[in-house]
Structure 1
Amino acid sequence: MCTRVIYTPKEKQSYVGRNMDWAVNPTPELWVMPPEVRRRAMAKTERGQEFKWKSKYSSVIVSNFGISNSDGLNSEGLAVNLLWLSSSKYPDGPPKKGSYPMSMSIWAQYILDVCKSVKDAVYAMENIYIQTTTIPDDPSKLATCHLSIGDKKGNSAVFEYINERLHIYTNVDTSGINSCDYPHIIKHYTQDEMRVMTNDPKFDTQIGSLVYWDSLNEVYKDGPALLPGSNLSLSRFVRATYFTRQLPMNVKQNLALAGLSAVINNAAQPQTSSEDADLSRTQYSSFADQSRLQYFFRSAYGPFLIWIDLLDVNFDKLKAKNKGKKKRYAFKLQLNEDGVFQDCDNNYMSGKMNAYLKVEKMFPFLPIP
């Protein structure tokens, strides 16, 4: 389930698209979060201490089940996407003295709140470690995910917890990090290698699978592309990588979004009679224009593309509600139970949705028990 693609058709132009695949509808909602909000990590140390921060940047996000942030774009053009990784194993305690736990439910929001680049995100995890709990639609199952991050320069990072330790895969230069003090493992790849990710297996194994398919297509380069045909996540990774490499350069926004949408649609999973963690149906797709700060959303339950322009949000409307230290209100786009927008007359609509944003109390992020 789930596929994420980064497309950089020209300098200073970058887009991120993703499919959210899940066995049940996660009841997605679109929110616009204001800056200067005080948040806490929703997890405490053994001594009862909790990491806290104040958001630097505004963001437009997708919430799932009303308890977590799974996708989003901030006012600096940084995009985040949370995808399933069943092999994840999280630490029981801090990887180094002074580290604080953080609930997975707020992990993506933390990155959007305080980071403007992929490199910032790598540094932001130095004193943080992620903890998880059961998922809302299946109390017997732990939420196990990896997080992808992309900035407006087309840089990327993937954060995975393997054997209780955070592995970071990225194309950015991290030579300024003191390896003696930094508790996480960093592996470097090229920008081209970092463009696509899916679910299992872990990310470096996904990249390793390209050696076989790239060599095969080099041998038969004069014929049609040879690609895996299953709907398993590794097959989707290979196909999405191939088609992303075929996307044209130096194109306008509408053509760039159309091309990215075609790749994302190719990796989508329709409803089937039997589903498991790796074969769940696509529930929605999202697209972030990181240069223009526009966030596009399409539910799988309707052909209607909607979007929010983060540059055209008037945060002054929240001032009356957000007086004092505790700022609890944000803008919400109310979607129906299928994740589709309807106006007051129940007409299905597409297009820019800024005019329909309503001031609402922020949803509560799921804490670690």
Structure 2
Amino acid sequence: MCTSIRFTDNSGHMYLGRNLDWSFDYGQQVRVMPRGFHIPYSFIDDATAAHAVIGMCIDYRNYPMFFDCGNDAGLAVAGLNFPGYAEYAEGPVDGKTNIAAYEFPLWVAATFSTVDEVEAALRDTVIVAKSAGEGLGVSLLHWIIGDSQRSIVVEVMADGLHVYDDPVDTLANQPTFPWHMENLRTYITATSDFPQTATWRGAELKPYGAGAGMRGIPGDCYSPSRFVKAAYLNANYPQKESETENVVRMFRSLEGVVMIEGASRMGDGKFEKTIYTGCFSARTGNYYYAMYGDPSIRYVSLMDAEGASPDRLVVPEPRRS
């Protein structure tokens, strides 16, 4: 499963991050795709990347199958697991822009500059259930897409493609995004304020300390619970100014919904854990990440693609944050 949030700093620069949760490592790598890179889409001919893109991916034969990524225009996207709900077209549809499900994050980041542009294009887009290669399968996902102005959620189900404004800048897994937003109404009394002393008849009931206003916010690993807690943390974290402060904000917020090995067993008997946490900064073009077994934060930069050949993905040297 997964959780993602988006926010902006005091100057309006966007940060979009995510936890990727599963029971095993995918062999994921951080890659930078240079502007002008030839993209071998399944249903689009002669496509070259209008933007340089950076993010976490499976590097499949010099093709970046991004889990999440951001581009040089400050647009970012992350795909999260959505089984039981996601349902793509069985094949391409004439007269439409047809995008294979595994291509979607790359198509968004390589093609567009803003959420508005993406939303307009999606009115004429079909997501197709096509895998990248034999034995790879088709991942059942939904996506959060953000820029400096707003974020949207894209869900493709049996009744078609849906685009939702995301006023809480949060996404988790199933059920659907509208269900999660309705569920938030259950927690409208939650507050980060220090609680006041209460009087019950002749008794004065004083708080033990801070945090009582948050009672009722769930802390378990279930997808609806992670959505609620992530939305609460994202809504109440004070805005910060510097790059360092905002990267800390992202990683600390996502730690609040991290999956700890041993806490949640999957249907196949294996324990789910947060394989990595990633964060794209539109302010610097840096991509920050930390792995489950090594929580130190490293980063690579879109600048690593400067002067690179458009024929190859860039394998950047990570720096410590």
Normalised to the residue count of structure 2, the TM-score between the two structures is 0.83
Decide whether the 8 Å contact of 2:219 with 2:257 is kept in 1: no
- Aligned with 2:315 (options 325, 332, 350): 332
Q: Distance in 2 between matches of 1:119 and 1:279?
A: 39
- CA apart distance, 1:144: 0.4
**Residue aligning to 2:204:** none
Q: How does 1:154-169 map to 2 (within 5 A)?
A: 154-169=149-164
After superposition, the C-alpha distances for 1:41-98 in whole angstroms (9 at most, x for unaligned) are 22x4xxxxx4552211111121137362111111011111011111111123556x50
**Residue aligning to 1:237:** 227
Q: How does 1:252-271 map to 2 (within 5 A)?
A: 252-271=242-261
Q: Distance in 1 between matches of 2:296 and 2:232?
A: 27
Decide whether the 8 Å contact of 1:26 with 1:65 is kept in 2: no
**Unaligned runs of at least 5 residues, structure 2:** 197-211
- CA apart distance, 1:15: 1.1
**Residue aligning to 1:61:** 55
RMSD between aligned alpha carbons? 2.8
2:99 paired with 1:102: yes
Q: Secondary structure at the match of 2:87?
A: coil
Q: Secondary structure at the match of 2:249?
A: helix
- Aligned with 1:116 (options 113, 116, 128): 113
Decide whether the 8 Å contact of 2:79 with 2:142 is kept in 1: yes
**Residue aligning to 2:295:** 303
**Residue aligning to 1:34:** 34
Decide whether the 8 Å contact of 1:296 with 1:307 is kept in 2: yes
Decide whether the 8 Å contact of 2:36 with 2:49 is kept in 1: yes
Decide whether the 8 Å contact of 1:14 with 1:291 is kept in 2: yes
**Residue aligning to 2:146:** 150
Normalised to the residue count of structure 1, the TM-score between the two structures is 0.73
1:29/1:244 Cα in 2 relative to 1: closer, same or farther (>3 Å)?
A: same
Q: Distance in 2 between matches of 1:314 and 1:61?
A: 12
**Residue aligning to 2:19:** 19
Decide whether the 8 Å contact of 1:83 with 1:199 is kept in 2: yes
Q: Secondary structure at the match of 1:316?
A: coil
State the one-letter code of the partner of 1:26. Answer: Y
1:299/1:136 Cα in 2 relative to 1: closer, same or farther (>3 Å)?
A: farther
**Residue aligning to 1:196:** 170
Q: Distance in 2 between matches of 1:245 and 1:94?
A: 40
Q: Secondary structure at the match of 1:331?
A: coil
